[in-house]
């Protein structure tokens, strides 16, 4: 069935380190891909998205490229900050579906130390 597999956490990095969180998906149809972020005590927020193959989503210094050939959407940031500490969720929705509900990965807890 449809699913998302993302790198298990927790991940702990020092400030200014390079971040990669791996995400692969299994989906029927034509998925749009997303990264959501949940900061401590806050709700889920959309971080970035890509709606077709080879698109690159970017926001707040984070990037992810839609790789159809490897069914991947890895999240990267060149220099993390303490304020990036949060839980990150990879997700997709099927564009052709009527509900277009999101299917999420299990989440990756990121802690950035000063």
Residues that bind another protein (CB under 8 A): 32, 42-46, 49, 51, 89, 91, 95-96, 98-107
Q: Transcribe 35-55 into DSSP letters.
A: EEEE-TTS-EEEEEEE-STT-
Q: Is the dihedral of CA 109, 55, 57, 37 positive or negative?
A: negative
Name which of 69 and 99 has its Cβ closer to another protein: 99
State in angstroms the smallest separation of the CB of 2 from another protein: 10
13 vs 44, beta carbon nearer another protein: 44
Minimum gap (Å) between residue 38 Cβ and another protein: 9
The phi and psi torsions of 22 (rounded to 5 degrees) equal -80, 145
């Amino acid at each position: 069935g449809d699913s998302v597999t993302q790198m298990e956490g927790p991940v702990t990095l020092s400030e200014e380190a390079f971040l990669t969180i791996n995400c692969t998906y299994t989906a029927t149809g034509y998925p749009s891909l997303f990264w959501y972020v949940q900061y401590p005590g806050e709700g889920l927020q959309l971080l970035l998205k890509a709606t077709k193959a080879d698109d690159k989503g970017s926001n707040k210094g984070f990037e992810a490229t839609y790789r159809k050939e490897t069914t991947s959407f890895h999240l990267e940031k060149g220099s993390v900050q303490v304020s990036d500490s949060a839980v990150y969720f990879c997700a997709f929705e099927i564009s052709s579906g009527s509900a277009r509900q999101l299917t999420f990965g299990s989440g990756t807890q990121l802690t950035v130390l000063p």
